[in-house]
Every structure is written in C-alpha cells, then in structure tokens.
Amino acid sequence: MLSIHKLTKVLGGRTLFRDAELTVNWGERIALVGPNGAGKSTLFKMILGEEDIDSGTVERDEYAIVGSLEQEAGDPGDETVLEIAMGINPEMVGYLRTMREHEKAGTIEAKEYAHAQDQFNLHNGYQLEPKAKKILAGLGYKQDDFTRPASEFSGGWVMRAYLARLLVMEPDLLMLDEPTNHLDLITLLWFQRYLSNYPGAIFLISHDRDFMDAIVETVVEIDPDAAELITYTGNYSSYLEQREKTYEQKVQAYRNQRKEIEGHQEFIDRFRQVGSKAAQVQSRIKFLEKLDKIEKPRAPRKPFKFTFPQPERSNQKVVELKKADFSYGNDKKIYEGLDLTVERGDKIVLVGPNGAGKSTLLKILAGQLELTGGEKEVGYLTKLGYYSQHRSDTLNESNRVLDEVMDSCPTLREEDARAILGSFLFRRADVEKRCGVLSGGEKSRLNLVKFLVDPPNLLLMDEPTTHLDILSIDSLVNALKSYEGTLVFISHDVHFIRHLAETTLHISRSEDDSHSILTRYTGGYDYFLEKSGLDDDRSAVTAS
C-alpha cells in the first residue's frame, strides 16, 4: 500500500532521515514514535505530498485512498457539524439545506424539495447521514448539535467533527497525528474501540501508550542519531522490551569488540620490535585498519527521577463544598446542591464527557470561579496551586526559562534545574530563551516545572500531559507518585490516570440536562471501569 525507499530529508541543517526504509501493508496498524523534533509530523507530510523530499521515493498504491487528521483544524466556515462529518461538497450542502428548510416550513410537496431529495439520494447522502450521526454521537456530540454551525464550538470540538469526517470516509490508510489530544476519557475509549474494528490500515502518531497498546501491532521508531526508521513487531509495551534487549545486545557487541581490539593492540605493542613476530604484528595492524568498528551505543532516553521538595502538611479537610450551586449566567446551570469533601492525601481524578463540568469544578476549587450559591470552605493551612494548559499569566516574560525555575525555588541547584527542564523538553539553548517568546505549549510545560520544584499542598491540574512526550509523562508520574500533598486532576491519558488516581469522581449531566451529577468511586481507573460499565457500554456512563 505504501513504500518508502532510501528517503533522505534535511531540515534546518539537521538530517532527519538518511536512506530510511518503510513499508505499510494493507490492514496494518502502525505507531510512529520518537522524541519531539525527531521528524514524525514531517514524515507524515512527506507521505501526503505536503513536504518535499531531498532524495529517495514515497510510493502509494494508485488504488489506495489515504485520509489524514492533522493536529489543528482549519476554519469550518458556515458548515454545520453534520455537514463536516458527512464530508459533502458545496453542491450537496445546498441540497441538504434546501431539504431542511422545506421540512421546517412543512412544504415537502414543493418541486425544489423533490429535486434536492433526488440529488441528495443520487450522491449517497442517505447512506452517509446515518453513519455520520452514529460516529458524531460516539465522539460526544448530542443530536441537537448536528445542525449547529461548527464555528459555534471550540477548536477541540471542531477537530472532533473533522475526525468524524475521516471515519465516515473510511480511507484504506488512516493517518492520525495525535488524534486523542482533544478527546475526553470517555470519548477516547469509544474511539479506541472503534479503531480496534477499523477495516483499513492505520498509521498514527501518539503520546498515549495505553491507546497505542490497544490499537497497534507494529511500532516504527525514528532513531535521531542514525536518522533511520527501525521497525518492531508488537504493540508499544512490546516495543519498549525489544528496544531494551536490542540496546543490551549492542552494548555486549561493543564490549566484545573493544576487548578484541585491546587484545590485538596489546599484542602489537608488545611485539612491535620483535623481528620474528613482524608478520603477525603487520597482520593484526591491517586487521584493525579494516575492522568496521562498532560505535558505543547510546542508551535509550529514560524518565527523569528527582526528589522534589515536599509541601507543608495541610489540615485533614483540605477543601469542602456544601450545597454548592454554579451557573454560567442565566443560560446553563452546571451544579446544584453539590457536596464534596477533599481530604489530605487524596489522589482524585475527575472523569466524564466534555461539557459536563470537570474543568468548571476544578476552577471552583481553585477560586477561579465563584459559587452562585452554597459554601466553599478552604482549610486554613491549605496552599493551593492551579495548573491549566491555557494559563501563562504567571510567567515573568523578561525572565530566561532557567531564571523562572530558579526563582520559583531558590534552594534548587542550577544543574538540577537544567536536568528537570531537560526532562520536560527544554534542552540546551531552550533554557536561555525569554519566557515572552515561548509558544503556548512551552509556557504550559514551564508552569508545570514551576509547580514541581515548589509544590503547594493542594495541586489542581487540568490536562497536565497535553504538551508532553511519553518519557516526559513518565517523569511527571514519577514526581507525582512521591508527592505527599493532595492531588485533584483531569486527564485523558489512561497510563497517567492508572498510575496516580486512587479515587475517581465521575461527572455527568442529569437526565433532564438541568445540572451535573457527581458520582464517587473509591478506587482508581480500573475500579471505575468495572463498577461503571464503561468498558462494556459507553451509554452506561454518558446517559446520566
């Protein structure tokens, strides 16, 4: 289906690929992995013809339909959610809107309606529409949302509409670049099950190891040192095991050769001046000159481990909500009569569909939003910190990245600060950048590091893994495992949740959609799945 042969690409003076080889077969499921900046998205763009190649070939089967989802969606214009999902052209949009207008006006006997209906049917519209609606529902849209303009939704929801379009199209090769970034946990699990039964080939980039374990059967690693593609058979966990074994084998081969070289060199040095050994000495010298020397293998990147300072001890009752109400204006009530107690040492994850009120609850606890009714009591020893991927106003824009971290914890040694920043993707010259020139993702990561080097005793975190690669996520997990304070967080990364959550709070809308309901599960992710039925039936946790 797809064949890459001797692909070479130099970008920004750095060789990303040198004579790289890859084959994607029909129906195969592949994950492309490698550190940030290794060239994953660039390789996707070259396959799609959006980026030039320096040499080599990228060949696609002429009969294969390729569909891709990029990390960011374009402007949806005036298209509705359903129109995007159906992937219909402007002419088809016109037929569909004519039909909707006549149906709303009750004039379906009109000739214009009949003509539009005939044309819509001729272009398979009636086959596309139910499929699109089913997929949109799986991705978290309500039926009332289907006919709303996509421009009324956030960027994350627009991405879901384009993802639905791709799934409706059902290409022979489905290319996905970080497809889970804008999905809540419940939708992610639906999407994971959908892809497990997908009939075509899947080629994806992801930082979610559990997602990859469930979907892929082959892992292709970009080796940035050799600038080549290395293929491993199996899922992501299997890839990690194989990579470690391969590294150990390379180390052993390197050591064996070094021992052999040292033995020959010792013989040469010892008998160089001995006439009777001259032929043997020359033979060994020539052998060493011709020997293809093995370079010392570089160890795979490992999660960074550092003992972070522990926060001061809080009260037993850290924060409490009593009969709490919250509404956004007069339009939408989120909470009504909510009771919630967070105690010292709790590790709580908030789960539920987007729009149910997870981030709202976190902001209420953080004091970012004021209750419209009821009470909130914060322990007098509680020192809270609120991390949101969208907050960057806590940074001094004239500071260097390194200064910003050092100022947050004056007792921190510079080498430790550099090491921590490196594990969160600030490497070498990055630490010298001014905060004012950082991207949104870089600012989020920097705020995260600041929390870790001077943690409060109540840590409230909204999607802290969004801008991190897999090893950085592991570094964060290691840090938070040793954290002795109280943690309340939102995440769609199952690996992250599974390793940290000890209590699960499921937030969903009531049957009449009048307010959100909170259900407490005194256990982690797997306990929640078992008790909620989410692993068997999505409706079990989304209906109420």
pLDDT digits (tens, 9 = 90+) for 411-434: 888 888 888 888 888 878 889 999
Which has more confidence, 176 or 332? Answer: 176
Q: Does the structure show a pLDDT above 90 at 95?
A: no
Q: Please give the Cα distance from 480 to 455 (Å, whole number).
A: 10
- Looking only at the bridges linking them, the beta strands covering 458-462 and 384-388 are parallel
* Amino acid at residue number 438: L
- The answer to whether 348 and 342 have CB atoms below 8 angstroms apart is yes
Return the pLDDT at 391: 60
Q: Please give the Cα distance from 407 to 415 (Å, whole number).
A: 14
Q: Does the structure show a pLDDT above 50 at 482?
A: yes
- The pLDDT-based confidence of 90 (bands split at 50, 70, 90) is low
- The answer to whether 282 and 401 have CB atoms below 8 angstroms apart is no
pLDDT per position as a tens digit, 361-381: 999 999 999 999 999 999 999
- The pLDDT-based confidence of 308 (bands split at 50, 70, 90) is confident
- The pLDDT-based confidence of 88 (bands split at 50, 70, 90) is low
Return the pLDDT at 453: 87
Q: Does the structure show a pLDDT above 90 at 100?
A: no
Sequence-distant (≥ 6) Cβ neighbours of residue 300 within 8 angstroms: 243, 244, 247
Return the pLDDT at 389: 67
Return the pLDDT at 310: 87
Q: Does the structure show a pLDDT above 90 at 487?
A: yes
pLDDT per position as a tens digit, 246-267: 999 999 999 999 999 999 999 9
Return the pLDDT at 141: 92
pLDDT per position as a tens digit, 317-347: 999 999 999 998 777 889 999 999 999 999 9
Return the pLDDT at 543: 32
* Residue 164 three-state SS: helix
Q: Does the structure show a pLDDT above 60 at 542?
A: no
**2: phi then psi, degrees, rounded to nearest 5:** -140, 130
pLDDT per position as a tens digit, 287-301: 999 999 998 888 887
Return the pLDDT at 392: 57
DSSP string, 75-97: --TT-BHHHHHHT--HHHHHHHH
Q: What's the mean pLDDT in 164-192?
A: 89
Q: Does the structure show a pLDDT above 80 at 93?
A: no
Q: Does the structure show a pLDDT above 90 at 87?
A: no
Average pLDDT along the chain: 88
Q: What's the mean pLDDT in 261-279?
A: 91
% of the chain exceeding 90 in pLDDT:
49
Return the pLDDT at 302: 80
Return the pLDDT at 73: 63
Q: Does the structure show a pLDDT above 60 at 537?
A: no
Q: What's the mean pLDDT in 3-22?
A: 92
Nearest CA to 229 among 2, 5, 472? 5
What is the number of other CB atoms lying within 10 angstroms of the CB of residue 55? Answer: 12
Return the pLDDT at 500: 94
Return the pLDDT at 540: 34
DSSP string, 349-398: EEE--TTSSHHHHHHHHHTSS--SEEEEEE-TT--EEEEETT--TTS-TT
H or E element in which residue 334 lies? strand 332-343
Q: Does the structure show a pLDDT above 80 at 536?
A: no
Return the pLDDT at 435: 87
Nearest CA to 72 among 451, 333, 439? 439
